[in-house]
Amino acid sequence: MAFINTQTPYMFPAVPFTGKIRGGLKEGLEIKIKGTINSSADNIIVNFQTGSGGNDVAFHFNPRFEEGGYVVCNTRQQGQWGPEERTMKMPFKKGMLFELCFLVQESDFEVTVDRKFFLQYSHRVPYDLVDTIAVSGSLKLSIITFQNTSVGRCSETFQFRRTSNWCKPQSPGIQSAHQAQAPMDQTVNTVHSAPGQMFPTHGIQPVRYPTSHLAPFIALIPSGLYPSKSIIISGMVLPDATRFHINLRAGTDIAFHLNPRFDEQAVVRNTQINESWGPEERSLPGEMPFSRGQNFTVWILCESHCFKVAVNGQHLFEYAHRLMNLAAINNLEVAGDIQLTHVQP
């Protein structure tokens, strides 16, 4: 089961935020919100509504920190609220990071907080009327993403361990993570969809890997790259990290190799064609943008002449294409000292 990119995420939007949902809500659409609750929070509001006015709200999700904390759900039609549904639990903590996920199902919204099921809210109005998401309250947003999947719960966390040789890529016969074999006590969480395709999805399976190296996380990029195509990778750098890498592959070639190295305080970029590396690029406009033990989001935007790379919402560098057949670049590979929370190929 594969995720399909439906629209470009909203990165670090200011609160209050109102944004369009391209194509409206559909069954199987998963909307994920990540951010931080303010230390002095009183309430949070997420509305799935028709238009920006707020008179027609199909789903009003409203955690309130008063009286020990509870969550109000409701629907508003033509400016009139219906009966409240209250859940007397508070899944959020003040001052803490959170991951809030809404999955549109045939009969209801399924809500997951920090990858744990929280509640279901039955549709009171047709969900396909919704074309806007609005977020307000005592929080800071880092990203809002949209993914299509036919069924299931929100994405789990992926754990990656370090490889033994960071600059040397896999052999031409690269092995998908779900094909690797290893002793029973050595596992890494990854996923598989259709045969031979790897996607970040809800069907997490423990996967074996050889003791000498970690088979990387591999995701197919449907239809390959093209100008305006975005790839987003979010996660956390492990506290004892040495290096990790992100590769955009075209067959056995690596069109773009992004390799943060904490032992060198450098972000190395390169291309490998016919098993030969080109000249490295290392220059940065400022300090190393990745830190051990810290969350990160890498946004790679493919343009006609280059890749533009932003880290944590800040433009970092451009990398001119050395392999010009963009459509042939159809695999994403990630490995190293990181824990992934979101991958959008």
pLDDT of the residue at 8: 74
pLDDT of the residue at 209: 28
Weakest-pLDDT range from 27-41, 69-83, 138-152: 138-152
Average pLDDT over residues 229-256: 93
Task: Give the domain ranges of the chain.
Answer: 4-148, 158-344
Nearest to 50 by CA among 73, 27, 75: 75
Q: Is the pLDDT of residue 203 over 80?
A: no
* pTM (two decimals): 0.53
Q: Given pLDDT bands bounded at 50, 70 and 90, which one contains residue 244?
A: very high
Domains 4-148 and 158-344 agree in fold: yes
The architecture in CATH of the region 4-148 reads Sandwich (2.60)
Q: Given pLDDT bands bounded at 50, 70 and 90, which one contains residue 6?
A: low
Q: Given pLDDT bands bounded at 50, 70 and 90, which one contains residue 89?
A: very high
Q: What is the mean pLDDT of the chain?
A: 80
pLDDT of the residue at 149: 66
pLDDT of the residue at 181: 29
Q: Is the pLDDT of residue 59 over 80?
A: yes
The architecture in CATH of the region 158-344 reads Sandwich (2.60)
Q: Is the pLDDT of residue 336 over 80?
A: yes
Tens digit of pLDDT for each residue in 132-176?
A: 999 999 999 988 988 886 533 444 343 434 433 333 333 333 333
